[in-house]
Amino acid sequence: MKFRIHFRLLCSIAIIAVIGIVAAGTVHASSWRYELPIERDGVMLMDDLIYRVRLDDDITKAKRVNRFFNQILVSRETGHAVQSPEELVQAGRGSQLDIAVAKLFALEAAGIPAHRMSVTRVRHHDLDGMHVLLLVYPGSSSEPIVLDTLTREIQWLSDRPGLFVVDMMSHQDVSSILNQSRQRLAW
């Protein structure tokens, strides 16, 4: 009987210690703000995600990539260079364009052909101004699914009647924008 009590007490202490270690690893002592794991180990987590989803169907890939990148804080800042996916996950924050670009490159690395995706500017009936998201044509579908920072779940474009497409950028357009951003930073 006494052994059981001591064993339970030791297990409780071990669990509390593990919780304390986990909590200590996610809070900055200097600022006491919560840190998303993606900020600490973002590139490693992104690479792991891409590796794990390679054999999934296109819709499952899109769901998992969308959820991963939607952990990133969306900033309203404009005028900065477009971030690469690695820069985005290391910073833990970025513009809607940065997040859509990261989703595009992650899905391409996971096996979805670039010609079946486009970074898209839309007008949203509930938002002022433009909104940027990624459209993906899964498999042989003629209708795209929407990967959006506004919602965790993906939906078919026809299920989002409040979105009005303004313009679309292909993978080649996005690569060109990234290269121009790098050249500006090199000056």
pLDDT in tens, 104-149: 988 998 999 988 999 998 988 777 778 889 999 998 888 999 998 8
Q: pTM value?
A: 0.70
Do residues 17 and 82 both lie within one domain? no
In total, how many domains does the chain have? Answer: 2
CATH number of the domain encompassing residue 96: 3.10.620.30
Give the count of alpha carbons within 13 A of 13, CB side only.
Answer: 6
- Residues 41, 27 share a domain: no
Gap between the Cα atoms of 168 and 14, Å rounded? 53
Q: Assess whether 4 and 40 both reside in one domain.
A: no
Domain holding 15, by residue range, is 1-35
153 and 171 co-located in one domain: yes
